[in-house]
Amino acid sequence: MLSSRPQNAFRAAWASYSAKRNLEAVEKLPAPVGRGRTAEGTEAQPTSPTNRKLVTAGPYRFTRNPMYLGLAIASLGLAVWIGAWPMFAVLVTAQLVHIPFEEAKMRRQFGAGCDSYTHKVGRWL
């Protein structure tokens, strides 16, 4: 009978490698996101009074929430890498609490422009 140890070792090594690559990719995400917001004169804080323009360029062309997407990828990578499955709570919290709050604020502030944007671009991808 074959031992399952080599297979388990391979799975663990692959999970570790994949998670590390995910985390490396996520480390690079804040730079373009930050540059896009700074170029438009907006801030990361959704309730900031300086946010007078809906940013739809850069990574915002592909996802309405590039920072949350990065957080989700990092959380999943970390959960797989170290087996910290409670990290999935980060995704649930973002999906059920933070993102709806921010999107409601954007709808109040930008109206039809925000509605058009949300129909064109997905929440995650």
Q: What is the predicted pLDDT for the residue at 85?
A: 78
Judge whether 29 lies within some domain.
no
Alpha-carbon gap, residue 56 to 89, rounded angstroms:
28
Judge whether 109 lies within some domain.
yes
Tokens of 79: 């959960």
Judge whether 19 lies within some domain.
no
DSSP codes joined into one string, 13-33: HHHHHHHHHHHHHHHTSHHHH
Judge whether 113 lies within some domain.
yes
Judge whether 43 lies within some domain.
no
| pLDDT digit string, tens, across residues 5-60 | 555 666 666 666 666 676 666 566 555 555 556 667 777 676 777 778 898 988 89
Judge whether 48 lies within some domain.
no
Judge whether 112 lies within some domain.
yes
Q: What range does the domain containing 92 cover?
A: 63-125
Q: Count structural domains, the chain.
A: 1
Please give the single-letter amino acid code of residue 99. Answer: I
| pLDDT digit string, tens, across residues 58-84 | 889 999 998 888 888 888 887 877 777
Judge whether 45 lies within some domain.
no
* Residue, of 11 and 105, whose pLDDT is higher: 105
